[in-house]
């Protein structure tokens, strides 16, 4: 498992792909360092670039740890609504991760992470965050005192089609497949 994950890191480091969204320029970039894979979605809206990131790492025992999902919170700062919030960006990133890892890691691979408290509970109720993860098939384990663990086995998780910034519902991207196609095209 670890060898396959490390191979994904090697192959996808610095990989960039255009993402089709209506009326905007968007793309996805991958970075890897040590045992971490970072997926960064960027889009230009109203002459400003907005980014969302998903950071994962290999963990002890052949598990994948969700370290951070950021950039799609309800507010950019204390008063400014985030144009990426509620627009399918987080779903796109999780779908992309599941598709990419699902082809190279065993179905028994455990994916887990800690559910952080929302920035603004009135705009992002904790129940909505739980439901976000549950729609992929993750389970929420309560540790008490607001600490919750999101956990699931890769083979039991499913993609969730959702509109990305007004596009047709989609299930993310398989970055390994796109990388291999791109490499094959370059060789021709």
pLDDT score, position 164: 96
Average pLDDT, the chain: 89
- Banded pLDDT at 183 (limits 50, 70, 90): low
Looking at residue 140, what is its pLDDT? 93
CATH of residue 25: 3.40.630.30
Range of the domain at 167: 1-74+83-185
Higher pLDDT, 98 or 4: 98
What is the maximum span of the chain, computed from C-alpha positions, in angstroms? 57
Residue 180 makes CB contacts below 8 A (sequence gap 6+) with: none
pTM of model > 0.85? yes
Strand partners of residue 53: 40, 70
- Residue 171 burial (C-beta neighbours within 10 Å; 0-12, 13-18, 19+): middle
Cα separation, 158 vs 153, in Å, equals 10
Q: What is the pLDDT of residue 122?
A: 61
Statement: residue 115 has pLDDT above 90: no
Taking phi first (over 0 means left), then psi (-120 to 50 degrees means alpha), and beta for anything else, what does residue 166 get? left
Residues 139, 4, 134, CA angle at the centre, nearest 5°?
Answer: 15
Work out how many domains the chain is built from and give that number: 1
CA-closest candidate to residue 72, choices 83, 59, 56: 83
Range in 11-20, 33-42, 138-147, 150-159 with the lowest mean pLDDT: 138-147
Q: What's phi and psi for 36, nearest 5 deg?
A: -110, 145
Q: Which of 30-34, 35-39, 102-106, 144-148 has the lowest mean pLDDT?
A: 144-148
Q: What percent of the chain has pLDDT above 70?
A: 90
What is the CA 111 to chain-centroid distance, rounded? 12
Residue ranges in 20-125 assigned as alpha helix (H): 89-102
């Amino acid at each position: 498992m670890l060898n396959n994950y490390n191979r994904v890191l090697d192959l996808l480091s610095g990989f960039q792909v255009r993402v089709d969204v209506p009326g905007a320029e968007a793309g996805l970039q991958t970075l890897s360092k040590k045992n971490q894979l970072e997926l960064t979605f960027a889009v230009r809206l109203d002459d400003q670039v907005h980014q969302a990131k998903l950071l994962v790492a290999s963990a002890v025992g052949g598990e994948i740890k969700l370290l951070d999902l950021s950039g799609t919170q309800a507010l950019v700062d204390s008063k400014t609504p985030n144009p990426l919030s509620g627009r399918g960006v987080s779903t796109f990133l999780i779908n992309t991760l599941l598709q990419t890892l699902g082809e190279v890691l065993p179905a028994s691979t455990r994916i887990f992470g800690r559910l952080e408290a929302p920035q603004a509970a009135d705009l992002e109720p904790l129940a909505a965050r739980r439901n976000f993860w549950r729609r992929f098939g993750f389970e929420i384990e309560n540790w008490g005192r607001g600490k919750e663990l999101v956990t699931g086995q890769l083979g039991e998780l499913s993609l969730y089609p959702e509109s990305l910034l007004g596009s047709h519902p989609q299930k993310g991207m398989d970055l390994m497949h796109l990388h291999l196609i791109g490499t094959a095209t370059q060789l021709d």
